[in-house]
Amino acid sequence: MEFIANIILASLLAVTMLDILFVFSSKQPIKVTRNVSTRLNLGDENHIKLAVENQTGSMINFSLIEGYPVEMQDRSSVLKGILSGHSKKEFDYTFTPKKRGEYKFGDVFIIIRSMFFLASRRIDLPLEETIHVYPSVLQMRKYELLVFQQQKTSAGIKKIRRLGNNSEFEQIKNYVQGDEVKSINWKATSRRNELMINQYQEEKSQSIYCIIDKSRSMQMEFDHLSMLDYSINSSLVFTNIALKKGDKAGLITFSNKIGSVLPADKSSGQMRRIQNVLYNQQSLFHEANYELLYQTIRRTVKQRSLLVLFTNFETEFAMRRAMPMLRRLNQKHILVVVFFQNSELQELAFQPSKTVHEVYQATVAEKLISMKSKIARELKQNGIQTVLTLPEELSINTINKYLELKAKGAV
């Protein structure tokens, strides 16, 4: 018996030594690469890939701990797998950032084991990198496609016929699906033996400014994204559409003082300038100074322009305090005031109430919703274009208002 036990022990020691030799024989047995864009999109799911490659000829069992950004609050996820010799495995996960700015991805830690699980080895891979989160380019491209392609009506973008004719001939181009049939140039079509259309452009580019309120009232969050960030994403979407339509786009931010002023332009680098300005905007915990905003616009915006003001009036008093300056702006320009409905209040107001406390909550919620509608009516009564919208419908409703004004020839 003692002889058999010694043989078993010797065999076990031999296998262990072989496992240790296998695990530590290669200086870099495994390679990990992280594929992440240098610019992530605010409020959207950003896909990140990890590729794990076995650089040895033997099978490896591994456990990998990714260096997730602190903001993900993910410390328990472990990626596991088995790799045969010289093979690769990919992992895919998503990250939805709720704030603009810098995010740090840390180093990757990986533990490899032999096939008998008698030895293991930890390897630290230096993959730390800083990634920047910008206003959502994904949303910008999404709405660009919706506006300029035929399926726009099914996604909430209204197809509005332009009143009157305020355009001039630009060029003849190939027909694509969605172009107006009445624009077909039959002479050019017969010459080229393919459908050709006349393309027209607006006689004059209009100046359009997104004005973003960065004051205390824009700090409220919906789905962990502040109203300021909703406005920033929507401004990026909206200015891109305006530039594609041939208009000039600019940007003004303000709170108790003026933040950034980017003059309206339609040059090729304007979209990049707008992105960089929007990236750096931070809210200030002060009241909005509308008189200062009026003086700034009066001084810097000389020609009649479309002003799209993203703000949030919490009370009727706040709206009436701003009203004199809003009316002045609307006299010289076309002013569109865009402010927010509280989606959480709507859920609270219309859910079934079973207790006295729930009835009280629903009553208060209905009163606050009614107040927002009353503010919108009073703005309209003063001749000011108004968009009262849920945060998730902000971009769609703002674009629809712009297309409506374009169709009427107001812009």
What is the tens place of the pLDDT at every residue in 10-33? 666 655 566 666 666 667 888 999
pLDDT digits (tens, 9 = 90+) for 91-134: 999 999 999 999 999 999 988 876 666 667 888 889 999 999 99
Q: What percent of the chain is modeled with pLDDT above 90? A: 45
Confidence of residue 142 (pLDDT cuts 50, 70, 90): confident
The whole-model pTM stands at 0.77
pLDDT score of 5 more than 70? no
> Residue 88 CB: number of other CB atoms within 10 A?
12
Write down the pLDDT at residue 151: 46
The pair of structure tokens assigned to 233 is 């994403």
Tokens, residue 372:
């927002």
* Of 221, 243, 245, nearest in space to 231 by CA: 221
Both tokens assigned to 116: 């008998």
| 191 three-state secondary structure | helix
- Domain spans of the chain, in order of start: 25-134, 137-166+204-407, 167-202
The reply to whether domains 25-134 and 137-166+204-407 share a CATH topology is no
User: CA-based diameter of the chain, in Å?
Assistant: 105
CATH number listed for the domain at residues 25-134: 2.60.40.10
Q: What are 224-282's pLDDT values in tens digits?
A: 899 999 999 999 999 999 999 889 999 999 999 999 999 999 998 999 999 999 998 98
Q: Residue 162: pLDDT above 50?
A: no
Q: What pLDDT does residue 164 have?
A: 42
Q: Tell me the pLDDT tens digit for each residue of 338-374.
A: 999 876 666 665 677 767 666 666 666 677 778 888 9
Separation in Å, CA 213 to CA 155, 229, 235, 319? 28, 11, 12, 13
Mean pLDDT within 381-397: 93
CATH for 137-166+204-407 is: 3.40.50.410
Task: Report CA-CA distances (Å) from 56 to 15, 24, 81.
Answer: 19, 11, 15
Helices (H), 130-251: 137-148, 186-192, 227-244
